[in-house]
Amino acid sequence: MAAEGLAARAAAVGLLGAVLGEGRLMAQVVADAQGPLAGLPPSDRARAQRLALAVLRHLEQADRVLEPHLRKAPPRMVRDALRLAVVEIAMGGAAHGAVNAAVEIVRRGKRTGHMAGLVNAVLRKVPDQPFEGLPPQRMPRWLRQPLVHAYGREVVSAMEAVQAEVPPLDLTLRAGAVVPEGEVLPTGSLRLEEKGQVSALAGYEAGGWWVQDAAAALAVRLLAPVAGERVLDLCSAPGGKTLQIASSGAGVVSVDVSEARMGRVRENLARCGLEAELVVADALVWEPGERFDAVLLDAPCSATGTIRRHPDLPFVKDGSEVAGLVELQAAMLDRALAMVRPGGRVVFCTCSLLPEEGEGQLAAALERHPGLRVERAEVPGVDPAWWTEGGGLRLRPDLWAARGGMDGFFMVRLGVS
Protein backbone atom coordinates (compact mmCIF):
# COMPACT_ATOMS: atom_id res chain seq x y z
CA MET A 1 0.00 0.00 0.00
CA ALA A 2 1.00 3.63 -0.34
CA ALA A 3 2.81 4.90 2.74
CA GLU A 4 1.09 8.29 2.63
CA GLY A 5 -0.17 9.16 6.11
CA LEU A 6 1.00 5.87 7.61
CA ALA A 7 3.67 7.38 9.87
CA ALA A 8 1.22 9.86 11.42
CA ARG A 9 -1.42 7.17 11.91
CA ALA A 10 1.05 4.77 13.48
CA ALA A 11 2.21 7.55 15.81
CA ALA A 12 -1.43 8.27 16.71
CA VAL A 13 -1.87 4.62 17.70
CA GLY A 14 1.28 4.97 19.81
CA LEU A 15 -0.12 8.05 21.52
CA LEU A 16 -3.33 6.20 22.30
CA GLY A 17 -1.34 3.33 23.78
CA ALA A 18 0.54 5.69 26.06
CA VAL A 19 -2.64 7.41 27.27
CA LEU A 20 -5.02 4.45 27.49
CA GLY A 21 -2.51 1.71 28.27
CA GLU A 22 0.06 3.52 30.41
CA GLY A 23 -2.15 6.24 31.92
CA ARG A 24 0.07 9.09 30.75
CA LEU A 25 -1.19 12.57 29.93
CA MET A 26 -1.02 13.46 26.25
CA ALA A 27 1.16 16.51 26.94
CA GLN A 28 3.74 14.31 28.69
CA VAL A 29 3.81 11.81 25.82
CA VAL A 30 4.11 14.54 23.18
CA ALA A 31 7.05 16.09 25.04
CA ASP A 32 8.83 12.73 25.39
CA ALA A 33 11.90 12.78 23.13
CA GLN A 34 11.74 8.98 22.91
CA GLY A 35 7.96 8.82 22.51
CA PRO A 36 5.74 7.91 19.55
CA LEU A 37 6.34 11.26 17.84
CA ALA A 38 10.13 11.00 17.90
CA GLY A 39 11.69 11.67 14.50
CA LEU A 40 8.48 12.78 12.80
CA PRO A 41 8.34 16.04 10.80
CA PRO A 42 6.11 18.77 12.25
CA SER A 43 3.23 18.06 9.86
CA ASP A 44 3.09 14.38 10.86
CA ARG A 45 3.43 15.23 14.55
CA ALA A 46 0.49 17.62 14.29
CA ARG A 47 -1.62 15.11 12.37
CA ALA A 48 -0.85 12.31 14.82
CA GLN A 49 -1.97 14.47 17.72
CA ARG A 50 -5.16 15.53 15.94
CA LEU A 51 -6.04 11.92 15.16
CA ALA A 52 -5.32 10.66 18.68
CA LEU A 53 -7.36 13.46 20.24
CA ALA A 54 -10.25 12.70 17.88
CA VAL A 55 -10.23 9.06 18.98
CA LEU A 56 -10.24 10.07 22.64
CA ARG A 57 -13.26 12.31 22.01
CA HIS A 58 -15.16 9.44 20.38
CA LEU A 59 -13.73 6.34 22.06
CA GLU A 60 -17.05 5.18 23.51
CA GLN A 61 -18.79 5.50 20.15
CA ALA A 62 -15.99 3.71 18.29
CA ASP A 63 -16.11 0.81 20.74
CA ARG A 64 -19.87 0.52 20.31
CA VAL A 65 -19.41 0.29 16.55
CA LEU A 66 -16.69 -2.36 16.86
CA GLU A 67 -18.23 -4.49 19.61
CA PRO A 68 -20.65 -6.53 17.42
CA HIS A 69 -17.77 -7.58 15.17
CA LEU A 70 -15.31 -8.72 17.85
CA ARG A 71 -15.89 -11.98 19.68
CA LYS A 72 -13.17 -11.14 22.19
CA ALA A 73 -11.08 -8.10 22.95
CA PRO A 74 -7.97 -7.91 20.73
CA PRO A 75 -4.60 -6.67 22.01
CA ARG A 76 -4.62 -2.99 22.88
CA MET A 77 -2.58 -1.89 19.86
CA VAL A 78 -4.95 -3.71 17.51
CA ARG A 79 -7.98 -2.21 19.21
CA ASP A 80 -6.49 1.28 19.01
CA ALA A 81 -5.77 0.85 15.30
CA LEU A 82 -9.39 -0.25 14.80
CA ARG A 83 -10.68 2.69 16.81
CA LEU A 84 -8.59 5.11 14.77
CA ALA A 85 -9.93 3.77 11.48
CA VAL A 86 -13.54 3.97 12.69
CA VAL A 87 -13.10 7.56 13.87
CA GLU A 88 -11.43 8.55 10.60
CA ILE A 89 -14.38 7.12 8.67
CA ALA A 90 -16.81 8.94 10.96
CA MET A 91 -14.90 12.19 10.35
CA GLY A 92 -15.50 11.79 6.61
CA GLY A 93 -12.09 10.44 5.68
CA ALA A 94 -11.62 8.03 2.79
CA ALA A 95 -12.59 4.60 4.14
CA HIS A 96 -10.08 2.70 2.00
CA GLY A 97 -7.17 4.83 3.25
CA ALA A 98 -8.18 4.44 6.90
CA VAL A 99 -8.73 0.68 6.54
CA ASN A 100 -5.52 0.04 4.63
CA ALA A 101 -3.49 2.04 7.14
CA ALA A 102 -4.94 0.14 10.10
CA VAL A 103 -4.22 -3.19 8.41
CA GLU A 104 -0.64 -2.15 7.67
CA ILE A 105 0.00 -0.85 11.19
CA VAL A 106 -1.19 -4.14 12.68
CA ARG A 107 0.73 -6.18 10.12
CA ARG A 108 3.98 -4.43 11.04
CA GLY A 109 3.51 -5.06 14.77
CA LYS A 110 5.90 -7.64 16.21
CA ARG A 111 3.13 -9.56 17.94
CA THR A 112 0.10 -8.55 15.91
CA GLY A 113 0.96 -9.33 12.29
CA HIS A 114 -1.27 -12.39 12.26
CA MET A 115 -4.29 -10.19 13.11
CA ALA A 116 -4.11 -8.02 9.97
CA GLY A 117 -6.79 -10.12 8.29
CA LEU A 118 -9.13 -9.72 11.24
CA VAL A 119 -8.67 -5.94 11.17
CA ASN A 120 -9.46 -5.84 7.46
CA ALA A 121 -12.57 -8.01 7.89
CA VAL A 122 -13.93 -5.99 10.81
CA LEU A 123 -13.38 -2.59 9.21
CA ARG A 124 -15.01 -3.63 5.94
CA LYS A 125 -18.24 -3.98 7.94
CA VAL A 126 -18.15 -0.43 9.32
CA PRO A 127 -20.82 1.81 7.71
CA ASP A 128 -20.03 5.15 6.07
CA GLN A 129 -21.54 7.06 8.99
CA PRO A 130 -20.67 4.81 11.92
CA PHE A 131 -21.71 7.22 14.71
CA GLU A 132 -25.15 8.07 13.33
CA GLY A 133 -27.71 7.80 16.13
CA LEU A 134 -25.10 7.33 18.88
CA PRO A 135 -25.01 9.82 21.78
CA PRO A 136 -21.82 11.81 22.53
CA GLN A 137 -19.19 10.24 24.74
CA ARG A 138 -20.05 10.44 28.43
CA MET A 139 -17.70 11.61 31.11
CA PRO A 140 -16.46 8.88 33.48
CA ARG A 141 -18.66 7.97 36.43
CA TRP A 142 -16.37 9.54 39.05
CA LEU A 143 -16.85 12.91 37.36
CA ARG A 144 -20.30 12.62 35.80
CA GLN A 145 -22.13 11.72 39.01
CA PRO A 146 -21.13 14.82 41.00
CA LEU A 147 -21.71 17.04 37.97
CA VAL A 148 -25.22 15.66 37.45
CA HIS A 149 -25.87 16.33 41.14
CA ALA A 150 -24.58 19.90 40.79
CA TYR A 151 -26.00 20.92 37.42
CA GLY A 152 -28.58 18.32 36.33
CA ARG A 153 -28.50 15.70 33.58
CA GLU A 154 -29.55 18.07 30.81
CA VAL A 155 -26.67 20.46 31.48
CA VAL A 156 -24.14 17.62 31.77
CA SER A 157 -25.32 16.15 28.46
CA ALA A 158 -24.92 19.57 26.88
CA MET A 159 -21.36 19.75 28.24
CA GLU A 160 -20.59 16.34 26.75
CA ALA A 161 -21.90 17.42 23.36
CA VAL A 162 -19.45 20.36 23.37
CA GLN A 163 -16.58 18.20 24.60
CA ALA A 164 -17.08 15.89 21.62
CA GLU A 165 -16.24 18.70 19.19
CA VAL A 166 -12.83 20.08 18.23
CA PRO A 167 -12.59 23.36 20.13
CA PRO A 168 -11.91 26.65 18.37
CA LEU A 169 -8.81 28.73 19.11
CA ASP A 170 -9.19 31.83 21.27
CA LEU A 171 -6.80 34.76 21.28
CA THR A 172 -6.40 37.59 23.78
CA LEU A 173 -5.66 40.82 21.90
CA ARG A 174 -3.65 43.94 22.63
CA ALA A 175 -5.11 47.26 21.56
CA GLY A 176 -4.32 48.13 17.94
CA ALA A 177 -2.81 44.73 17.17
CA VAL A 178 -2.76 43.09 13.75
CA VAL A 179 -4.97 40.02 14.16
CA PRO A 180 -6.25 37.10 12.06
CA GLU A 181 -9.81 37.04 10.80
CA GLY A 182 -12.23 35.64 13.34
CA GLU A 183 -15.22 36.32 15.58
CA VAL A 184 -14.83 38.87 18.35
CA LEU A 185 -16.63 37.38 21.35
CA PRO A 186 -18.74 39.52 23.70
CA THR A 187 -15.97 39.41 26.31
CA GLY A 188 -13.36 40.69 23.84
CA SER A 189 -11.49 37.50 22.92
CA LEU A 190 -11.02 36.63 19.24
CA ARG A 191 -12.23 33.17 18.21
CA LEU A 192 -10.85 31.31 15.18
CA GLU A 193 -12.45 28.21 13.67
CA GLU A 194 -9.74 27.34 11.15
CA LYS A 195 -6.57 28.01 13.05
CA GLY A 196 -3.78 26.21 11.17
CA GLN A 197 -0.26 26.75 12.51
CA VAL A 198 -0.44 29.34 15.27
CA SER A 199 2.97 30.90 14.49
CA ALA A 200 1.87 31.50 10.88
CA LEU A 201 -1.21 33.56 11.85
CA ALA A 202 -1.35 37.29 11.16
CA GLY A 203 0.19 39.35 13.95
CA TYR A 204 2.01 36.49 15.68
CA GLU A 205 5.53 37.82 15.14
CA ALA A 206 4.46 41.34 16.10
CA GLY A 207 3.24 40.01 19.46
CA GLY A 208 -0.17 41.61 19.33
CA TRP A 209 -1.98 38.59 20.79
CA TRP A 210 -1.52 35.28 22.55
CA VAL A 211 -3.49 32.04 22.74
CA GLN A 212 -5.84 31.93 25.74
CA ASP A 213 -9.28 30.41 26.14
CA ALA A 214 -11.99 33.05 26.42
CA ALA A 215 -13.01 31.72 29.85
CA ALA A 216 -9.47 31.85 31.21
CA ALA A 217 -9.12 35.46 30.04
CA LEU A 218 -11.99 36.54 32.30
CA ALA A 219 -9.98 36.04 35.51
CA VAL A 220 -7.77 39.08 34.84
CA ARG A 221 -10.78 41.09 33.66
CA LEU A 222 -12.40 40.29 36.99
CA LEU A 223 -9.21 41.35 38.81
CA ALA A 224 -9.19 44.60 36.75
CA PRO A 225 -5.54 45.62 37.22
CA VAL A 226 -4.65 49.24 36.40
CA ALA A 227 -1.44 50.99 35.46
CA GLY A 228 0.84 51.63 38.40
CA GLU A 229 -0.45 48.82 40.58
CA ARG A 230 1.78 46.03 41.82
CA VAL A 231 0.14 42.69 41.01
CA LEU A 232 1.11 39.11 41.86
CA ASP A 233 0.25 36.23 39.53
CA LEU A 234 0.57 32.93 41.42
CA CYS A 235 0.83 29.58 39.56
CA SER A 236 1.29 31.70 36.47
CA ALA A 237 2.57 29.35 33.75
CA PRO A 238 1.99 29.17 30.80
CA GLY A 239 1.55 32.91 31.25
CA GLY A 240 -1.59 34.15 29.53
CA LYS A 241 -2.75 35.95 32.65
CA THR A 242 0.71 37.41 33.30
CA LEU A 243 0.64 38.90 29.79
CA GLN A 244 -2.83 40.34 30.38
CA ILE A 245 -1.72 42.00 33.62
CA ALA A 246 1.49 43.33 32.05
CA SER A 247 -0.43 44.78 29.10
CA SER A 248 -2.61 46.77 31.53
CA GLY A 249 0.43 48.76 32.62
CA ALA A 250 0.55 47.21 36.08
CA GLY A 251 3.82 45.87 37.42
CA VAL A 252 3.50 42.09 37.66
CA VAL A 253 5.43 39.48 39.59
CA SER A 254 4.83 36.07 38.04
CA VAL A 255 5.46 33.02 40.25
CA ASP A 256 5.42 29.36 39.23
CA VAL A 257 7.09 26.26 40.62
CA SER A 258 8.12 24.88 37.21
CA GLU A 259 11.27 26.21 35.54
CA ALA A 260 10.34 24.53 32.25
CA ARG A 261 6.84 26.04 32.19
CA MET A 262 8.20 29.43 33.19
CA GLY A 263 10.32 29.26 30.06
CA ARG A 264 7.13 29.54 28.03
CA VAL A 265 6.13 32.64 30.00
CA ARG A 266 9.52 34.18 29.25
CA GLU A 267 9.20 33.41 25.52
CA ASN A 268 5.71 34.89 25.26
CA LEU A 269 6.69 38.05 27.14
CA ALA A 270 9.62 38.56 24.76
CA ARG A 271 7.47 37.99 21.65
CA CYS A 272 4.82 40.42 22.88
CA GLY A 273 7.29 43.05 24.09
CA LEU A 274 5.96 42.93 27.65
CA GLU A 275 7.78 42.88 30.97
CA ALA A 276 7.26 40.97 34.20
CA GLU A 277 9.38 39.82 37.11
CA LEU A 278 9.56 36.04 36.89
CA VAL A 279 10.11 33.94 40.01
CA VAL A 280 10.50 30.15 39.99
CA ALA A 281 9.36 29.13 43.47
CA ASP A 282 6.77 27.25 45.49
CA ALA A 283 4.05 29.78 46.28
CA LEU A 284 3.46 28.18 49.69
CA VAL A 285 6.96 29.03 50.92
CA TRP A 286 8.02 32.00 48.77
CA GLU A 287 8.33 35.31 50.64
CA PRO A 288 7.69 38.42 48.49
CA GLY A 289 9.09 41.00 50.91
CA GLU A 290 6.14 43.35 50.57
CA ARG A 291 2.41 43.08 49.95
CA PHE A 292 0.68 43.60 46.62
CA ASP A 293 -2.26 45.72 45.49
CA ALA A 294 -3.85 42.65 43.91
CA VAL A 295 -3.17 38.91 43.67
CA LEU A 296 -4.38 36.44 41.07
CA LEU A 297 -4.31 32.75 42.07
CA ASP A 298 -5.08 30.22 39.34
CA ALA A 299 -4.78 27.29 41.73
CA PRO A 300 -3.74 23.72 40.83
CA CYS A 301 -6.91 21.70 40.24
CA SER A 302 -8.43 18.65 38.57
CA ALA A 303 -8.56 20.54 35.23
CA THR A 304 -11.97 18.97 34.57
CA GLY A 305 -13.07 22.19 32.89
CA THR A 306 -10.53 21.67 30.08
CA ILE A 307 -11.69 18.27 28.78
CA ARG A 308 -12.82 19.85 25.50
CA ARG A 309 -9.15 20.70 24.85
CA HIS A 310 -7.65 17.74 26.70
CA PRO A 311 -9.87 14.69 26.11
CA ASP A 312 -7.16 12.45 27.56
CA LEU A 313 -7.89 13.67 31.10
CA PRO A 314 -10.89 11.39 31.81
CA PHE A 315 -8.83 8.35 30.86
CA VAL A 316 -5.81 9.26 32.97
CA LYS A 317 -7.46 10.56 36.15
CA ASP A 318 -9.88 8.76 38.46
CA GLY A 319 -10.84 11.50 40.90
CA SER A 320 -8.61 10.19 43.68
CA GLU A 321 -6.49 13.35 43.56
CA VAL A 322 -9.36 15.78 44.14
CA ALA A 323 -9.34 15.69 47.97
CA GLY A 324 -5.64 16.53 48.07
CA LEU A 325 -6.12 19.31 45.52
CA VAL A 326 -8.93 20.84 47.56
CA GLU A 327 -6.65 20.93 50.60
CA LEU A 328 -3.82 22.47 48.54
CA GLN A 329 -6.14 25.10 47.04
CA ALA A 330 -7.29 26.20 50.48
CA ALA A 331 -3.70 26.54 51.69
CA MET A 332 -2.72 28.51 48.59
CA LEU A 333 -5.72 30.82 48.89
CA ASP A 334 -4.81 31.55 52.51
CA ARG A 335 -1.26 32.32 51.33
CA ALA A 336 -2.55 34.63 48.58
CA LEU A 337 -4.72 36.52 51.06
CA ALA A 338 -1.67 37.06 53.26
CA MET A 339 0.23 38.60 50.34
CA VAL A 340 -2.25 41.38 49.54
CA ARG A 341 -2.30 44.76 51.29
CA PRO A 342 -5.32 45.87 53.35
CA GLY A 343 -7.90 47.22 50.93
CA GLY A 344 -6.51 45.10 48.13
CA ARG A 345 -8.15 42.26 46.24
CA VAL A 346 -7.57 38.62 45.34
CA VAL A 347 -9.05 36.67 42.44
CA PHE A 348 -9.18 32.93 43.08
CA CYS A 349 -9.91 30.66 40.14
CA THR A 350 -9.75 27.01 39.12
CA CYS A 351 -10.36 25.41 35.73
CA SER A 352 -12.57 22.79 37.37
CA LEU A 353 -16.24 21.88 37.02
CA LEU A 354 -16.36 20.33 40.50
CA PRO A 355 -18.07 22.60 43.07
CA GLU A 356 -15.68 21.56 45.85
CA GLU A 357 -12.87 23.21 43.86
CA GLY A 358 -14.89 26.39 43.35
CA GLU A 359 -18.06 27.31 45.19
CA GLY A 360 -17.01 25.10 48.12
CA GLN A 361 -13.63 26.82 48.37
CA LEU A 362 -15.32 30.22 48.47
CA ALA A 363 -17.70 29.22 51.27
CA ALA A 364 -14.86 27.72 53.31
CA ALA A 365 -12.63 30.79 52.82
CA LEU A 366 -15.37 33.13 54.02
CA GLU A 367 -15.69 31.02 57.18
CA ARG A 368 -11.94 31.02 57.79
CA HIS A 369 -11.56 34.77 57.20
CA PRO A 370 -14.38 36.78 58.84
CA GLY A 371 -13.22 40.09 57.28
CA LEU A 372 -13.22 38.73 53.76
CA ARG A 373 -15.88 39.95 51.32
CA VAL A 374 -16.94 39.00 47.80
CA GLU A 375 -16.65 41.81 45.26
CA ARG A 376 -18.79 41.54 42.15
CA ALA A 377 -17.00 43.65 39.56
CA GLU A 378 -18.48 44.49 36.19
CA VAL A 379 -16.96 42.31 33.46
CA PRO A 380 -18.02 43.34 29.92
CA GLY A 381 -19.69 40.58 27.93
CA VAL A 382 -20.43 38.33 30.89
CA ASP A 383 -23.97 36.99 30.94
CA PRO A 384 -25.65 37.83 34.29
CA ALA A 385 -26.76 34.18 34.51
CA TRP A 386 -23.12 33.11 34.91
CA TRP A 387 -22.87 34.69 38.36
CA THR A 388 -23.60 32.39 41.28
CA GLU A 389 -25.68 33.34 44.30
CA GLY A 390 -22.44 33.58 46.26
CA GLY A 391 -21.01 36.16 43.87
CA GLY A 392 -18.60 34.01 41.87
CA LEU A 393 -18.48 33.31 38.13
CA ARG A 394 -19.36 29.73 37.16
CA LEU A 395 -18.30 29.05 33.57
CA ARG A 396 -19.15 25.77 31.82
CA PRO A 397 -18.33 24.16 28.45
CA ASP A 398 -21.95 24.34 27.31
CA LEU A 399 -22.09 28.13 27.62
CA TRP A 400 -21.80 29.63 24.13
CA ALA A 401 -22.32 26.08 22.79
CA ALA A 402 -23.32 27.38 19.33
CA ARG A 403 -20.02 29.29 19.20
CA GLY A 404 -17.91 26.30 20.27
CA GLY A 405 -18.30 26.52 24.05
CA MET A 406 -15.68 27.57 26.58
CA ASP A 407 -13.51 25.98 29.23
CA GLY A 408 -15.08 25.33 32.62
CA PHE A 409 -13.94 27.69 35.38
CA PHE A 410 -14.90 29.03 38.77
CA MET A 411 -13.57 32.45 39.68
CA VAL A 412 -14.33 34.96 42.41
CA ARG A 413 -12.96 38.35 43.45
CA LEU A 414 -12.35 38.83 47.16
CA GLY A 415 -11.82 42.13 48.96
CA VAL A 416 -9.37 42.14 51.88
CA SER A 417 -9.95 44.47 54.84
Written as one letter, the residue type at 49 is: Q
| DSSP three-state, residue 155 | helix
Beta-bridged to residue 204, according to DSSP, are: none
Catalytic site includes residue 351: yes
Cα 155-161-165 angle, rounded to 5 deg: 145
d(CA 311, CA 290): 41
* DSSP per position, 75-112: PHHHHHHHHHHHHHHHTT--HHHHHHHHHHHHHHSTTT
Beta-bridged to residue 191, according to DSSP, are: 170, 183
d(CA 81, CA 83): 5
Sign of CA dihedral 338, 342, 344, 347: positive
Cα 120-121-123 angle, rounded to 5 deg: 65
Exposure string of 314-339, with b = 16+ CB inside 10 Å and e = fewer, is bbbbebeebeebbeebbebbebbbeb
CB 265 within 8 A of CB 287: no
Beta-bridged to residue 297, according to DSSP, are: 234, 348
Residue positions annotated with a catalytic role: 351
